[in-house]
Structure 1
């Protein structure tokens, strides 16, 4: 980390990886060079005007020519600034696109250990820091460099002695600015981390606003929010102190240089070793150096902030993708699924599943039962390939599912969960979510909603399929969300169906309707079910009882009643 902090290489590598629009960059640089070089001619014209002034020089043609030069310079400068700013905007847009494309392909384990708020902050805030540097500071830096180089060359030609006096200030500025820049870098990294944490807290609280209100937690969240704001304030004030030092120090150094040059130049004019026009020209060139130098201080402080942001962005871009981006395209229909000696742990010292083995014939209903926390949902996560087994393997036919592409595997799996998550948008958008073909006819959509017993309540809405469901589907009831999830599964026509406590949180009336829809959906499909209520799985072809991460029994309902004491105890509690 320290080496990275000292080097700008990661920052430049990241920028270059975004495929910089070269034509716009070159056009912007050429325009900047033209306007800067034109600006460098003006002090020379001023020198000649002062040293050789006469009324004959103020002809209409000369005034028109000078005015035209100024107007053309302004136009070219405007175009140049726009092109360079556009380059910055395009770089950041591509960087954000690169990050977003990476994020949606990261494994679930990344999001298990990283809060969504921090991730959002990386994509929005950290790339915003880079954008500010490239779009706002970089164009000024480029034109400033050209202006300084040109002005210094001309100053050496005009008077090399006075130019050397001016250069005494350069090492002084470097000595003062370097430690301030490093300090700004440290503060910026802390500020970005704290901003990410604060964003995460806000996102979590607003995402669970009902829980917060139901728990009377307003005061708790108020206190936590104030603490986060105060931490940001302290860092902001520390950042302001650095800026407050940089500005006045630059001003002080520049004023000392200007006073020194005017004093020394005045003596040269008095001794007639320099003309008044040369002194004025020298001062004008000096200002063409001073103005960019003051902006350089801001550029390098922004560069330190961008370095800190770059480190966080690279952490995301360097994280390995979810396995299975490429692989076989396999039809899962009419194939037996085998789970062989699978073990898994979220943490190495805490095994969740141990030596799990079973098989599911095509069209069978396989139910998982057992105490809470026994590993049933984790088994589902392995089947969906959210995680990979630590040992053992899962096969479809004679093919390891690791060899099948994620696109092929997940496109043939339908998943209906207990909470039936939905995306903000319309019912239509949620039904078609994830499908390549989004232009599905209303006729087909109404057909699948009817199969899921969802058509009646959708038709009762004024906007029908185009009804907005709200964030996470909050405008719909639990039973309505479940039926839309089932309709979505019908639309995908999956080969394998997975249901995780699909009716656990519904009232008896909704449960009956949803259960009918689920029974219709399960016909002819290999189905895996998790259920705490045994009444929903008594007709399963196999019930796999998992306890403390191990399979302790496999069989039908009647077989387990006879052979498995804990299952029998569950049944006696629930079915009698």
Structure 2
């Protein structure tokens, strides 16, 4: 928690400091009230007291009360401002940190967990800061100050008060020790319930198609029931605290007055002044003792929030302290243009020791097209992920434009690349926002967007939409078909005017006619752009300048379509499973 508080901005620290000063003022005025009560008691019990003195003391009490209330309002406002600013800062840091995550870091944290950490966990901390700035400062100072005020008034009553305080603190310690581990479990169970809900909503069509509503409901009920039982245990534990403190406060007040009555009784009846003074001291002692218990009651309120906030702080720090494995270089320039070269590249995922790519070497020059084909799981997507530097190689070197990919700044690298993912991803907004998404060397104009849409064979359906470029796209592109979504994703890559285009099986959602028209347009209008294509269709890649055939992570063939038909058994098997001998030219 304290590690997270170090990230608070200077302005927020100043506001928190001012709030702490105001809390001290509030405590001063609150603790002046018992003294005035003692004075009033003496004035009322003393024969011949002037009414003006009683009125003056009463007005001073009222002034203290109003001053305390005013400081409480101002402090509450400052505390809320500090908590909101702090949560804003942390949320921004978490978002920016996650935005810098590579594929490896994303595997360490699930998406539902990251969303939960960015929302619920930060809200828990915000609530603690808002309450803590007032209560965590006020309660211990008030308790200590009250103890100092009463310590010399009666040792008997002081010992009784100390016994109540020790008992309450011991009970708080036991409750915290039992509940904190379960609070951590609650956070994990919340992540789990978010995961189940997300899966059900994402795959709702599959759930309906397979009549799996009951199965999904049972899975959710199991996760929900486990979360409920854990939370109930925690709430039952916390539910003991507040009644116990209230009972202790009332019992202590009753004990103080009962014991105090016997103390007053021991004072001689003839010594009226002494009896009145002792009675006033007992009244003041009872009030201060109540303040001590009230301070503990306020601490109980913090105790109920602190375990959750502490666990949330740890989860947030896990994200903020996550080591980013991909670090950008410092270079912007390159000796070549539009070239991609793999030099003896091998790669295995951080969670495995088995290489998924072994000793891959090839080079593609500016304006050429290189294609990758192979069975499912042969490493095609992994290979082009290395070209886009989603991972770093285990061994070997990937060069873009004649320079090691690790030497580029991220801006310089991705300005050179247009990447189309295997699964098309669209963002909520409109078509213009999606096509001109992000920053690149290209000018983000409507004309550029129209050209990209036309080349991607998407202008036909975009022109029919109401609003055209302003036509809305819902979250995830759920209001367009799979083929339309894929063409918009391709248009987004083309609008960047890149040197190198990478297509990760991006033509699979297109019909053959659109696929052929798109490839023809790319060849005619982007002759100087280097293309890297992962595909399953022989028809998509047969005209490529080079074709790399992958089998279990190894390049078992590199050449043209005609060369591989003759010399590569794996390629020939794939080709003959899709096309006839006449179509293959055999």
User: Normalization by structure 2: what TM-score?
Assistant: 0.90
Matches within 5 A, 1:476-555: 476-519=480-523, 522-555=526-559
Q: Is the 8 A contact 1:479 1:514 kept in 2?
A: no
Q: Match for residue 421 of structure 2?
A: 417
Pick which of 443-452 and 480-489 moved more: 443-452
**Shift, 1:162, TM fit:** 2.5
- After the TM superposition, which of the residue ranges 524-533 and 406-415 deviates more from structure 2? 406-415
Hey, what's the Cα distance between the residues in 2 that align with 1:97 and 1:332?
A: 38
Q: Does 1:355 align with 2:363?
A: no
Give yes or no for the alignment of 1:17 onto 2:7: yes
The structural deviation recorded for 1:131 is 2.0
Alignment CA distance shift 1:514-1:276 (3 Å): farther
- Once residues 422 and 74 of structure 1 are traced to their aligned partners in structure 2, the CA distance between those partners, rounded to angstroms, is 53
Following superposition, the deviation at residue 438 of structure 1 comes to 11
Alignment of 1:108-507 (within 5 A): 108-272=103-267, 274-331=277-334, 334-346=337-349, 347-435=351-439, 440-507=444-511
Shift of 1:262: 1.3
Aligned to 1:43: 34
Deviations 1:78-102 (A, max 9, x none): 0012212322222222222221111
* Per-residue deviation, 1:374: 0.9
Partner Cα distance (1:412, 1:381) in 2: 15
User: Is the 8 Å Cα contact of residues 451 and 520 (structure 1) preserved in structure 2?
Assistant: no
8 Å CA contact 1:420–1:482 kept in 2: the answer is yes
Match of 2:69 in 1: 74
Q: CA deviation at 1:538?
A: 1.5
Measured on the aligned residues, the alpha-carbon RMSD in Å equals 2.4
Deviation string 1:154-186 (CA, Å, 9 cap, x unpaired) is 223544542333112232223222121111101
1:437 & 1:537 partners in 2: Cα distance? 29
Provide the rounded CA distance (Å) in 2 between the counterparts of 1:28 and 1:306: 21
Question: Which of 553, 557, 570 pairs up with 2:574?
Answer: 570
User: Matched residues in 1 for 2:415 and 2:504: separation?
Assistant: 18
SS of equivalent residue, structure 1 residue 553: strand
Worse overlay, 551-560 or 408-417: 408-417
In structure 2, the CA distance between the partners of 1:510 and 1:562, relative to structure 1 (3 Å rule), is closer
2:366/2:529 contact within 8 Å kept: yes
- TM-score scaled by structure 1? 0.92
Greater Cα shift, 486-495 or 58-67? 58-67
- Change in Cα spacing, 1:491 to 1:397, as seen in structure 2 (3 Å) is closer
* Deviation for aligned residue 1:47: 0.8
Which one is further off, 487-496 or 510-519?
Answer: 510-519
What are structure 2's unaligned runs of at least 5 residues?
A: 268-274, 581-586
Task: Measure, in 1, the Cα distance between the counterparts of 2:517 and 2:123.
Answer: 49
- Check whether the contact 2:329–2:406 (CA below 8 A) recurs between aligned residues: no
Task: State the match for 1:86 in structure 2.
Answer: 81
**Separation in 1, partners of 2:468, 2:433:** 12
What whole-Å deviation, never above 9, does each CA across 1:298-354 have from its counterpart, x for those lacking one?
312422222222222222222111412343223586253221111112243432111
Deviations 1:494-544 (A, max 9, x none): 111101222212234443444445445642111101111111111111111
Q: How far apart, CA to CA, are the structure 1 residues paired with 2:55 and 2:234?
A: 53
The 8 Å contact of residues 51 and 275 in structure 1, kept in 2 or not, is answered as: no
SS of match in other structure, 1:167: helix
| Partner Cα distance (2:160, 2:406) in 1 | 71
Relative distance call for 1:547 and 1:239 in structure 2 (3 A) is same
How far 1:71 moved relative to its partner? 2.9
**How far apart are the structure 2 equivalents of 1:338 and 1:534?**
23
Q: CA offset at residue 216 of structure 1?
A: 2.0
Partner of 2:584: none
**Contact map agreement 1:333 1:495 (CA 8 A) in 2:** no
- 1:56 partnered with 2:46: no
Deviation by residue 1:109-129 (Cα, 9 ceiling, x = unmatched):
222343211221222222222
Partner of 2:583: none
Name the CA shift for 1:523/1:208 in 2 (closer, same or farther; >3 Å). farther
Aligned CA distance change for structure 1 residues 204 and 407 (closer, same or farther; 3 Å):
farther
- Tell me, yes or no, if the aligned pair for 2:252 and 2:290 is still in contact at 8 Å: no
What is the CA–CA distance in structure 2 between the aligned matches of 1:292 and 1:466, rounded to whole Å?
Answer: 59
Work out the CA distance in 2 between the residues paired with 1:443 and 1:359: 34
Check conservation: 1:503, 1:515, Cα contact below 8 A. Answer: no
Q: How far apart are residue 379 of structure 1 and its match?
A: 0.3
Distance 2:305 2:447 in 1: 56
Are the aligned partners of 1:28 and 1:84 in contact in 2 as well (CA < 8 Å)? Answer: yes
Instruction: Quote how far apart the aligned CAs of 1:366 are.
Output: 0.5
